[in-house]
Chains A and B, each alone.
Chain A
């Protein structure tokens, strides 16, 4: 059925659309649904070769330029460092190192504004160059004659991350666990977003190095073949690459039609190989790994020359005098890059990092260039007009036609708007890649992607809060178990002490006998022995109870009152109590026994009280009680998620009300 629809759809599309005919020449391409074709604006920045910048006065190196954990700083303020020296080492598996892009002095390690959509400050290292640009001792590797594992481990110290913009630490993508089954390496050179030309220029100028990089990655992955995917709007780069790769029998260049977002890894794999990566799997699960063209070049430079990741090619374009590509040291302030491109024209309002489809506003022009910065666009209202006020959705489903993931954006929009998050999740909200195609084609100018971002953050916040609540509940259960156990221990101690006292009295009575010592020692021993086993039993019982409770909590989020009451009562505190009494009975004075029993009664009452409280809590719904009992850190976490949620909500509301006002 769907095949017939698709066939008819294509037939009609081809008859009515002029664009489609141009792509008919492209063979062996497996098209994905939707996609858009925005004005490219790539020609502006490809007229000049890649240039170098003057050494800036200061470099600001954010510690978090990658996805994952923040690396551990290895230098101190005042240290003199050499170019290529590691300033921060990766911590944990998903982390990347930071190196000094030039030689100079560390002047500060502090929180500063970084280029990130959140606009929040993060830890940065400030480096003032000494302009000597003196390299540290580099250690090139003869990769052909080195064990793969050693090479991948070495990469961990390279600081190389995915330079396409995802900034995922590269060594993890090459980590094979010894059973690598990757058969195909895909080199992402599609560069589908408008304005961005850094990969284009890289291919034009450094195709030979890219080829060597591909060979290294192929070797590391054990991939038999490699396909380089290039969009057909880069004929020069494609020609040079084809020529450079002609000698290789395993590497092929494949031209894909210019259609945003063909540079998305899953879309590109589908385009090139016809393989649809299942939504819950990674591409490596089906034997495919994707690397950006700039990343393989960085890998080559690292192994061949020992150069760590200290710079990248950045497209500086938009409203600047001379749009072009630059080789920029990480940490270079944006204004240095802007002035190198002839300066921003006067009507420039702000700068955008990334492309116009998925980029974000930079907070100011002092933020540093990072590993994620593939393109900086000087924006003006002419280039990027403020969207007109949003009109109601007319369900025209143009967004669904444009969605490369084949989602139903109009439905997701309704669900997100009405805070119907469960439904949004059911309609696969989390498969959304936020490419912006839906917003691009929306006749009502609805900021659809914002709604999805909001819904996603909201769902994540709720999940996190739930996780925190679960954790808190667990901790609370442990705490109650501990309190109970301690009470029992105290009772035990009292019992022991009393026992010991009695033994003393007894031994005093039989003092005249010769073998006093022996006897008394024996009696103490016998008295002690049952007491200690009792204590262990009590502890074991308490632990068992705590475990049972935990299990119950895990099994059902809405713990029924019965479950909670039944479980703790089953082992019952009576057992140890009874034992304690037993231990005492052999020789007793009436008064002492009574006093002890009173004490036990008190303890039992306390335990009953605790139980009653627990029961009440369970009946009243466990969440509130747990939240009141959580530790300071968990509370802080909950507060933080609440604040985050509130912020996201406010942002969307502000936008909606703004659009309403401007009506």
Chain B
């Protein structure tokens, strides 16, 4: 029987996923530095939940557990979700979100390779809709906090939701710049005066922009390793920058500048780690361009006109829905065909 080719040279799925995790390490490091070690608790909790949920579901679905757990895709989902949640999210929030992402968004659709929606974003969206208050309360970066919490304090807070001494929960949290900008704009303040607030840094959130920069670094590593194609991040960032520049150029007092949008919220995480999920994204080069441009535009519109501070999750999910259509309409020309 003809079973050629006999040779292959490709990174395995686990290698690819492992490199994605590796690329997240700079971001997590910056995160720990800015917000404290609490995020490590979330990441660990999410990882354990994801692996457990995946193993149980594989067992129920009578699939081999070991090779599928070893593909590391569940861990990638867990890390991305944990990084998208507020740094001091309560333990149950992390578990519920991860469980939803793995069980509902991934395994119930057929597991790896079959999920039409980005599992991490489904988990995030479910939490955002269910627990909007917790999801929009972010702790202030350590350097801005009145009462910087130690790692043990943060650990304690995650599991018991109580703080040492007489510190109130409100005292350690503040609105994110995206959120603050939106509410202040509604109060008819101007962008230039709003950004005078201490929570704003040079480009985006004070401190937060460092994390964003670290994601960019990790993303460049993925590009260099050819784990992701250049189409998606480049076009997403370009489209986000273009639309924000257009609005900014018309009315600089009402709209933040493009750099702010690129360096705030989940922009970089989205550009290099979320829309680059191959399973729920398009496969054709042209399709990737349309997809990423769509996510960029939708993200901006939701940020500026939507009900939520950041629009990445919904933008990605909305564009996930269009993927079959995009793929069908963007088939490249086959060699020898007109």
Contacts and interface: CB of A to CB of B under 8 A. Distances in A.
Q: Which of A354, A392, A393, A401 has the most CB of B within 10 A?
A: A392
B252 interface: no
B334 A279 contact: yes
A400 B284 contact: yes
Interface string A408-447: 1011000000000000000110010000100111111101
B337 A279 contact: yes
A450 B3 contact: yes
A511 interface: no
B197 interface: no
A394 B8 contact: no
A274 B247 CA distance: 45
B336 interface: yes
B7 A32 contact: no
Contacts of A16: 223-224, 226
A16 B222 CA distance: 11
A660 B226 CA distance: 29
Nearest to A407: B334
Interface string A364-393: 000000000000000100011001110111
Contact of A194 (B7, B114, B336): B7
Nearest to A433: B335
A9 B289 CA distance: 12
Given A9-B230, A358-B4, A391-B71, A406 B333 contact: yes
B132 interface: no
A663 to B, nearest CB: 4
A278 B7 CA distance: 30
Interface residues of B, number: 50
A508 interface: no
Given A400-B284, A442-B10, A449-B5, A276 B336 contact: yes
B178 to A, nearest CB: 30
B3 A360 contact: yes
Contact of B7 (A279, A356, A398, A410): A356
A489 interface: no
A266 interface: yes
B1 interface: yes
Contact of B289 (A5, A359, A398, A449): A5
Given A391-B112, A440-B8, A441-B8, A411 B283 contact: yes
A356 B7 CA distance: 6
Interface string A337-364: 0000000000000001010111111000
A38 B331 contact: no
Contact of B1 (A2, A32, A270, A361): A361
Contacts of B111: 392
A354 B338 CA distance: 33
A387 B281 CA distance: 27
Given A440-B7, A443-B16, A392 B112 contact: yes
A166 to B, nearest CB: 15
Contact of A408 (B3, B112, B223, B331): B331
Interface string B205-230: 00000000000000000011010011
Contacts, number: 167
Contacts of A247: none
A431 B335 contact: yes
Nearest to A260: B5
Nearest to A11: B230
A410 B283 contact: yes
Nearest to A663: B64
B306 to A, nearest CB: 29
Nearest to B323: A395
B336 A393 contact: no
A663 B338 CA distance: 43
Contacts of A407: 334
A244 interface: no
A36 interface: yes
Given A9-B285, A276-B335, A279-B337, A445 B8 contact: yes
A162 to B, nearest CB: 19
Interface in B35-83: 63-64, 66-68, 71, 73
A449 B64 CA distance: 25
Given A357-B5, A391-B67, A449-B5, A406 B10 contact: no
A272 to B, nearest CB: 15
Nearest to A660: B64
A119 interface: yes
B335 A33 contact: yes
B279 interface: yes
Q: Which 3 A-B pairs have the closest CB atoms?
A: A436-B5, A392-B113, A663-B64
15 contacts: A5-B231, A36-B9, A278-B336, A354-B4, A357-B6, A359-B6, A384-B7, A388-B12, A389-B67, A392-B114, A397-B229, A406-B334, A436-B4, A440-B8, A655-B3
Interface of B: 1-13, 15-16, 63-64, 66-68, 71, 73, 111-114, 223-224, 226, 229-231, 234, 278-279, 281, 283-286, 289, 327, 331-338
Given A39-B9, A394-B73, 6 more contacts: A356-B5, A394-B13, A396-B16, A407-B334, A431-B336, A449-B5
